[in-house]
């Protein structure tokens, strides 16, 4: 198809996803990753003979300490820990979904690379957040190292599940068609929006 100037106009699929849809899918992918972490965490703590709420107590104490600095008091460390744990996972998934919607290279990648990017995202972001635990709770060095090692394994699982869910959800998205016009400049055909 040609326009009045003689340039051709091409309508072709652009594999971008809308920001809102990617945030929604990121929430779902983050929740799936959080549930996978739950299963591994509960199984691992049970196998080690530790109480299954150990992680939630630690997260709850950290959150309570953080909020107490702001002058907000919370009771119930386990409940607070469960709430924070199950809110942060989907929210970080939503942020990852938004990043995927903004960076088109992340939409047009292989499953292997998608998993790598998601695990990298999970490790970097989670370690920044998890640094608060040993600082606010004044953990001994050995306990802090165990905390970081265990959480690194769990967040790798979160990244794999969240990354694979995000990968397949982006592919389920119908393509968005955008009109391009092509122009010959210097013997090269350019697609211009």
**How does pLDDT run across 67-125, given as a tens digit for each residue?**
888 888 888 889 999 999 999 999 999 999 888 888 877 777 888 988 999 999 999 99
**What's the whole-model pTM score?**
0.75
Task: Indicate the range of 7-21, 48-62, 126-140, 153-167 predicted with least confidence.
Answer: 7-21
Quick one: tokens of 152?
Answer: 């690194």
The structure tokens 């970097």 sit at 124
> CA of 159: how far to CAs of 62, 81, 120, 163, 169, in Å?
23, 20, 8, 6, 15
Same domain, 121 and 186: no
Sorted by sequence, the CB contacts under 8 Å of residue 86 that are 6+ apart come out as: 34
Q: How many CB atoms lie within 10 A of CB 52?
A: 13
Same domain, 108 and 140: yes
Same domain, 7 and 23: no
Same domain, 26 and 61: yes
Same domain, 132 and 108: yes
Same domain, 8 and 78: no
The structure tokens 């691992």 sit at 44
Quick one: tokens of 144?
Answer: 């802090």
The confidence score (pLDDT) of residue 88 equals 93
Helix (H) or strand (E) holding 96: helix 77-102
Same domain, 10 and 22: no
Give the residue numbers spanning the domain of 1: 1-15+181-193
The confidence score (pLDDT) of residue 14 equals 43
Quick one: tokens of 81?
Answer: 């820990």
Same domain, 11 and 82: no
Domains of the chain: total:
2
Same domain, 35 and 4: no
């Amino acid at each position: 198809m040609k326009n009045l100037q003689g340039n051709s106009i091409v309508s072709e699929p652009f594999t971008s996803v809308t920001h809102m849809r990617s945030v929604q899918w990121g929430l779902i992918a983050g929740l799936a990753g959080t549930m996978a972490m739950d299963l591994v965490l509960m199984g691992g703590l049970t196998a080690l003979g530790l109480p299954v709420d150990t992680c939630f107590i630690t997260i709850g104490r950290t959150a309570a300490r953080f909020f107490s600095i702001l002058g907000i008091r919370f009771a119930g460390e386990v409940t607070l820990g469960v709430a924070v744990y199950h809110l942060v996972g989907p929210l970080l998934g939503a942020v990852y979904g938004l990043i995927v919607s903004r960076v088109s290279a992340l939409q047009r990648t292989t499953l292997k690379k998608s998993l790598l990017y998601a695990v990298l995202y999970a490790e970097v972001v989670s370690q920044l957040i998890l640094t608060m635990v040993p600082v606010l709770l004044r953990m001994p060095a050995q306990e802090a190292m165990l905390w970081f090692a265990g959480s690194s394994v769990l967040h790798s699982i979160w990244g794999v599940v969240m990354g694979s869910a995000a990968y397949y959800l982006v592919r389920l998205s119908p393509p968005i068609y955008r009109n391009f016009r092509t122009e010959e400049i210097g013997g090269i055909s350019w697609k211009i929006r």
